[in-house]
Structure 1
C-alpha cells in the first residue's frame, strides 16, 4: 500500500493507481470462476487464491483522493465519513458472497466478484473522465480571463475550495 500510494503521488495518476487492485484480481477471479478447482491441483488453487489475496489495496490512494478533491474542512470530513461508511458496508455485504450452498466451486460468488471488478473498473474510468472534463472546463474559463481579471477573481471571489476556478481536481 505504501509503494502504491507513493507511486500515485509521484505520477499524479490517482484513478489508475487506485484501480490496480481490480486489474490484479481479474485474472485470478477468472481462473477461480472457469476452472473446476475440485479437480485442479490443490497447490495451483492455493497459489491462485494466495496471489488473489495478496492484491495491493488502493485505500490510501482513495482516502487521499477524497481529501484532496474536497479541499474544505467540512466537505473533507463528510467525504472521509462517507468513504468509511461505504467501506464498512462493503465488508458487511462481502460475508454473503461465498455461501455454503454454492460450495465447493463458488461459481455464483466468483461471478459476483467478477461483476464487481468490472463495475469498479468502469467507475474508476468514469471518475477519471469526469475530473479531467471538469478541469478542462475550468482551464478554458480561467484562460479566457486576462491576468488582471484572474488577480481580481482571486481577490474578490467568494468561491472557496473546489468551487473556485483556480482549483484543479486530482484524477
Structure 2
C-alpha cells in the first residue's frame, strides 16, 4: 500500500494543530507543522516572520523524503492559497502517495475568536496572529473536493477519527 499524505489546512485558531496532533497519535504517521518549521527558520536566520514560502518549501521537501521511504505524513499548515494546495498535492503524487486534503473550519465565530485570543501555540517565540489578522487574512476559496471538518461541531477526537476514517483505502 502506498504511503498517505494528509494535508490539514485552515485558518489560524480553527483547531488544526489540536486535530492534527490527535490524528498523529492515533495513526502513528509522521507529523510536520509548518509553524514549527517557520519559527526554527526565524530563530536560526536573519529572517523575521512572516518568512514567505520558505517554511512551506522546507515542509514539502521533508514530506517528500518521508513519503519516498514509505512513511505516511500529516502536514499541518494554514494552506490558504491554491498554489500551496497544489504544491502539497504535487508533492504527494510525485512520491506515489495517496493524498487526502482536509480543511479545518470553526463555524462559530465567537468560539473561533476566543481560541485566537487565548491560545498558546506551544512554540517558543512564536507570536500567533491576532483575531483581526485572522479575519483580514487572504484565504482563497477551495476549487476542488476536500474533507471539511468543523471543530465547532466536533471534538478533536471526533475530528481525528473522521479524518482517519476518510484516510482508509
Fold in common (TM above 0.5): no
Q: Please identify which structure carries the higher strand content.
A: 2
Asked which structure has the greater RCO (Cα within 8 Å, sep 6+), the reply is 2
TM-score by length of 1: 0.22
